[in-house]
A and B are shown apart, each in its own frame.
Chain A
């Protein structure tokens, strides 16, 4: 036990004294999570609304597909983005491989399934009369979408929090796409990996883990509050 205690005693000052490396990691991590969640909301909400409100053929199949993408290993998403962004790849001209931009793209791709799959679920959970009534009263597509989003807002917020959480905790895709470069595109989670495996620097790894856990706990707290208000079940899961 003495060993753990020693490591912890060295780790705490790193957090309290605001170590530059850890502050920078936290900042990069939050930026990645914010960009990924915003990107996923911008792309995913229209798709989620179409799946939740639309009455076209194949809607059900698309929804099953969206749910299935939630189960795909993040590392595969990472590999896919890497192959696209390598100089010889389709988007090679952008020179995104091993940059923060590639990390943004990969994390947006990984956050997308949460929004696309969970938004329709939240909309379909609304009282059935509500949207039908709005339709009967002549609401157009834009009005209907706004109404659905407003009524299902707790579900959509929960989906966004889940997406944010994965972006914080994910390592596989970040490491593959960004190369886990210190002081550049390393996130808290991928820094833990490199501090342990490459440097055996346990106090740093511990300090970073504590910061990451703190962020995740805030999210879990938010999600629990939303859950109690929304009366639905959504478990937060990290990869």
Chain B
């Protein structure tokens, strides 16, 4: 127990005194999570709406693909992106490998399946009459999308939180594409890996504690949403 205790007693002051390296890692992690989730939402929500509302051939296949892409190992996804971004690769001109922008792009790609698969499921979980009625009343594609998003907002928000969560805790893709460069493009998770491999355990523990704090915050957000979700369902039923 001594080791754990010793590392902890050296880790806590780093957090309390706001160690500058730690602060910059926290700031970059938040940037990654926010940028990746926002971009994934901008790209993914239209796809989720198409899967959830569309009545075209191959819709079911698209959904299976979206669900399956959730299972894609992040290291493999990261490596494929890395190959695209190598100077000789198809997107080499963008010079994204071992840069912060590369990390943003990689994390966006990893967040995308969460947004698409979970939002589409939330839209499909809406009471079946609701959208049918809107269609009958002559709602256009755009109005229908707005209605679906508004009604499924709890599920869509949960999808965003899941996307934020992976961005916080993922290491494989970030390390491959970003190179895990100290003081540059490290996130809390990849910095934990780096410090532990360098046998600086107190630093690793300090970073890990901050990471747990952020994840707990997200979980509380999710719990609050679920709670609110119950309320909304109740209100919906009582109105009907």
Contact = CB atoms under 8 A, between A and B. Distances in A.
Contacts of A236: 67-68, 70-71
Interface string B86-116: 1011100000000000000000000000000
B193 A76 contact: no
Nearest to B117: A235
A82 B76 CA distance: 25
Interface in A30-62: none
Q: Please list the 5 inter-chain residue pairs (A to B) with the smallest Cβ-Cβ separation, ordered nearest first.
A: A73-B169, A169-B73, A236-B71, A3-B88, A88-B3
Interface string A1-35: 10110010000000000000000000000000000
A130 interface: no
Given A171-B74, A235-B117, 8 more contacts: A4-B90, A68-B219, A79-B196, A171-B171, A175-B193, A216-B71, A238-B74, A239-B166
A7 B82 CA distance: 13
A229 interface: no
A66 interface: no
Size class of the contact patch on chain A: 35 or more
A209 B76 contact: yes
Interface stretch (A117-125, A144-152, A191-199): A191-199
B189 A238 contact: no
A211 B2 CA distance: 42
Q: Is the interface of A mostly helix, strand, loop or mixed?
A: helix
Contacts, number: 152
B3 A83 contact: yes
A70 to B, nearest CB: 10
Interface residues of B, number: 52
Contacts of A179: 197
Interface of A: 1, 3-4, 7, 68, 71-76, 78-79, 82-84, 86, 88-90, 92, 165, 168-169, 171-172, 175-176, 179, 189-190, 192-193, 196-197, 202, 205-206, 209, 212-213, 216-217, 219-220, 224, 233, 235-239
A160 B165 CA distance: 23
Nearest to B74: A238
B36 to A, nearest CB: 15
Contacts of A74: 169, 171
Contacts of A84: 4
A79 B192 contact: yes
B229 interface: no
Interface of B: 1-4, 7, 64, 67-68, 70-76, 79-80, 82-84, 86, 88-90, 117-118, 121, 165-166, 168-172, 175-176, 179-180, 189, 192-193, 196-197, 201, 204-205, 208, 211-212, 215, 218-219
Contacts of B171: 74-75, 171-172
Given A71-B165, A176-B196, A209-B79, A239 B70 contact: no
A209 B172 CA distance: 13
15 contacts: A1-B90, A3-B83, A4-B89, A72-B169, A79-B208, A84-B4, A86-B201, A90-B3, A168-B73, A189-B73, A189-B172, A192-B75, A192-B76, A224-B68, A236-B71
A171 B83 contact: no
A114 B118 CA distance: 19
A231 to B, nearest CB: 14
A224 B196 contact: no
Nearest to A175: B193
Given A176-B197, A216-B73, A233-B121, A4 B168 contact: no
Given A1-B90, A90-B4, A171-B171, A75 B82 contact: no
A238 B192 CA distance: 19
Contacts of B2: 88
A75 B193 contact: yes
Contacts of A68: 219
A75 B80 contact: no
